[in-house]
Amino acid sequence: MIDSPARSVTGVLHPGAMGVTVAAACSGIVLWASEDRSAETAERASDAGLTDVGSLAELVDAADFVISVCPPHGAEALASAVADTGFDGCYVDANAISPAASRRIATRFENFVDGSLIGPPAREPGTTRLYLAGPDAGRVATRFAGSLLEARVLPDGAIGAASALKMAYAAWSKGTSALLISVAALAAAEGVSDDLTAEWAMSQPGLSQRLTYTAIQSAPKAWRWVGEMDEIADTFAAVGLPDGFHRAASEVYARLEEFKNVRSASVEGLLEALLGAEPV
């Protein structure tokens, strides 16, 4: 049990590559729970100076705020696990989930903030923003004042607004990356890769460079983006828009899951995996 009369204690679930920078940017005492977590996660948390309380039960007992940063496919289950403990503080879901999913989670908590993260892990100023919506959004934002993570409260933002912003943003940034990889795979399968590259150089300068960047930056995270593309597709469908774009993007990223956490990946390696994978 953490002794904190002022109750300025935040629990972060779970300090992965992004989550640990969120935790490091948060003021006051910041807790994490090592139970069932990997050695890599433990090392990240230790390096960031987080306090390990061992279990989820201990974390929610000590914290007045809990922030969830996890792969989107696990967001609702994690929220349910916290709600089932009887947690009576403020729960912040900062995951890449649909507005509908955010609103479902909100029903489990008396105090809930809808959040979303845009940008890379917050290691430099001006790169990463935490958007917040809901009645307690301002209170959450104060915990990040002056940090590397810029907390922005959406004015008059209802629950689901921060998630909707993330869905719209990632629909373009990650959706178009999946499309670009697929286009390159098509050209490779038909034997016109060099011709396409030459045409891009004339009419679409920068696309070849973006393809290389996508291979290096996106492949290690593709496994996380499968669920995110599904969440985006659900968001499109919920407002009557075609959802096939991002259902296909989900399959593209699923075919690249073998690159999980690799240090680097080549364009050729990505195309081989994409073309050689069985349909999912």
At 165, give phi and psi (nearest 5°): -60, -45
SS3 124: coil
- Per-residue pLDDT at 277: 61
Q: What's the number of domains the chain is made of? A: 2
Q: Are residues 136 and 172 in the same domain?
A: no
Q: Are residues 52 and 69 in the same domain?
A: yes
Give the predicted TM-score (pTM) of the model.
Answer: 0.93
Question: In this structure, is residue 89 part of a structural domain?
Answer: yes
A 10 A CB-CB count for 70 gives 20
CATH number, position 74:
3.40.50.720
SS3 63: coil
Residue at a domain's end among 134, 158, 182: 158
Q: Are residues 180 and 57 in the same domain?
A: no
Q: Are residues 142 and 35 in the same domain?
A: yes
Question: In this structure, is residue 187 part of a structural domain?
Answer: yes
SS3 44: helix
- Per-residue pLDDT at 197: 97
C-alpha distances out from residue 71 to 29, 132, 239, 274, Å: 24, 18, 24, 22
Q: What is the mean pLDDT of each run of 10 residues along the chain (280 residues)?
A: 59 95 97 94 95 97 97 97 97 98 98 97 97 97 97 93 98 97 97 98 96 90 95 98 98 95 87 76
Question: In this structure, is residue 4 part of a structural domain?
Answer: no
- Per-residue pLDDT at 278: 54
Q: Are residues 173 and 234 in the same domain?
A: yes
Q: Are residues 198 and 122 in the same domain?
A: no
Q: Are residues 154 and 26 in the same domain?
A: yes
Query: What CA–CA distance (Å, rounded) separates 44 from 200?
Result: 41
The residues that bridge with 249 in the sheet, in sequence order, are none
Query: What CA–CA distance (Å, rounded) separates 230 from 238?
Result: 12
Question: In this structure, is residue 2 part of a structural domain?
Answer: no
Pairing of strands 111-118, 129-133: antiparallel
Question: In this structure, is residue 66 part of a structural domain?
Answer: yes
Question: In this structure, is residue 123 part of a structural domain?
Answer: yes
Q: Are residues 204 and 136 in the same domain?
A: no
Residue at a domain's end among 126, 158, 190: 158
At 89, give phi and psi (nearest 5°): -90, -155
At 118, give phi and psi (nearest 5°): -125, 125
Say if residues 97 and 231 touch (Cβ distance below 8 Å).
yes
Q: Are residues 28 and 152 in the same domain?
A: yes
Which structural domain, as residue segments, surrounds residue 214? 164-276
The residues that bridge with 68 in the sheet, in sequence order, are 13, 93
Q: Are residues 139 and 261 in the same domain?
A: no
Give the tokens for residue 170: 């990632």
Question: In this structure, is residue 3 part of a structural domain?
Answer: no
Say if residues 219 and 262 touch (Cβ distance below 8 Å).
yes
Strand order in the sheet with 150-153: 51-52, 29-32, 9-13, 65-68, 90-93, 111-118, 129-133, 150-153
Name the residue type at position 76: E
Query: What CA–CA distance (Å, rounded) separates 214 from 207?
Result: 10
What is the DSSP code (8-state) at residue 147?
S
